[in-house]
Structure 1
Amino acid sequence: MAAAVAVESSTQFQEVLERAKRSLVVVHFWASWAQQCLHMNEVITELSKEYPNVIFVKLEAESVPEVSEKYDISSVPTFLFFKNCQRIDQVDGARAPELTKKVQQHSETTKQDLDEQLGKLLNSAPCMLFMKGTPQEPRCGFSKKIVEILNEHNIRFCSFDILSDEDVRQGLKVYSNWPTYPQLYVNGELVGGLDIVKELAETGELEKTCHTEMRLEDRLKALINKSKVVLFMKGNKALAKCGFSRTIVGILNETGVEYETFDILEDEEVRQGLKTFSNWPTYPQLYVNGELIGGLDIVKELEKSGELLSALKGENAS
């Protein structure tokens, strides 16, 4: 990001936090009449160049009073640090060295968290395609073509829509040192993009490269363990495709606990296989530490009894 985002309303502020997901967000509460604020705006412009994965925000404290009051902003400049929509740190005053130090510290922690997530994603299936859109609805010509090639050669693969997660989209470029999409991985290792997959197909090497058949049971185990909390649902967090899934997502979001989702509408093998694997016939299904918690009714019961948060933390999951 080349410069700070100017936020002019509480709604826009909340949208920035929600879009950021796991990214570090640094918000400068400032005033146009304060010379030291103008100086610190220059500082964050420079920091935004040095830390492109950090989202810097400028918010005039007096112009958006509801946000300033919510976070008890009593003077300017004040800098608040957010991650996962939660305030995690603060710097008061025009203290450029301290601001720079905290940006560095928190961005390093965020990068470690993202690298861990990317590692899990890469290994969530033997053959993983990171693309724009889904195999059923590709969102660019390159993604459409690579899906066609894989299907023509009967390559079994799972996919991740990089348009659904900006952190993954940008982070994977750095993680694998590969600047474009789509990207194909086998056993967690990068194969390459469309050109390389085309070449492998033309030379007859594609089937050999992607010959990583995994038993369905092993694949299901890998999926339910890809994160501490995993929800198998219809759709995803941003767009649930049934009322039960929409309700359970709302409940989980209220807890503030991080969780991953898997869209069972995109993989019929997983959709049918997981029912037998866990002896649970319906969706959504919620797993913690690889163990089934249950569906919507159980989650509602846990919420009502006050036990949901401890269950999500694995304290009473069985």
Structure 2
Amino acid sequence: MAAVVVEAGSPSQFEELLQKAGNSLLVVHFWAQWAPQCSQMNEVMEELAKDQPQVTFVRLEAEAIPEVSEKYEITSVPTFLFFKNSQKIDRLDGAHAPELTKRVQRHAASASFTSAPESAPKEDITVRLKKLINAAPCMLFMKGSAQEPRCGFSKQIVAILNNRKIQFSTFDILSDEEVRQSLKTFSNWPTYPQLYVNGELIGGLDIVKELEASGELDTTCPKVQSLEERLKSLLNKAPVMLFMKGSKQIAKCGFSRQILEVMNNTGVDFATFDILEDEEVRQGLKTFSNWPTYPQLYVNGELIGGLDIVKELKESGELTSVLQGKQ
């Protein structure tokens, strides 16, 4: 069956989709036609639907169905809600394709554990716990989500991690009783929240508070990269980097298609980054490089220019040398 994103046109249709999904993951995009970032995230959803056919993806126009938007406190678009068993388990605000992809993959994996047919062999709980613990470099098992903690201890630990700009993912132990009980025995730690770094238990709220007070938390947990650090890392990901709409395989605008044709004819290897998948990079790179349009070509981390510059270099016979870093 072809992967599709379902449109919810009424409150009753939305409730029907929730019920039909059962204990499989359902992801809802609250969007608006006037917001360009919503259109971009709709494209991301369509790609995710191809990769995750077991997940139900739903588009819901926030202003057209205010009853549902008000019920789930949707105040901006795009906003993504994640459901299992008709219960909201996570929320993501804003156009952040990598984070959306990561959460869909994590929740889909979690859902697949609990939705296997009874006749199928059940995955060993120890194997499952190890997968969850290692799902991200810094994993927090808590009540609720980072956006909506559901107990005071979870709320406190999330606040500490956010204040220290720690990069972390979460698992809602209220959504899975087997994980909730088994993890306490597995780690010999009887309470929640529990914080893990690189698969190793750090501890609960008290331990995290001690690490924060001693200054060790910053070195124990991975930090969120600043936008400038992230851009520099992307610029230097490969000797020749092309920031474009689409990829090497599929260009998504005429300018990107033209520059790909020129680049492919040089025989020089290059990597691409799809700026449609990351609004933060798309806007930030224009300011960082003081170059307002795409595509943008970089060699050894330095901006060469856009399509016009690349065409001029090709006509002058300099392009191959520039791409090889010889000029």
TM-score range, shorter chain: 0.3 to 0.5
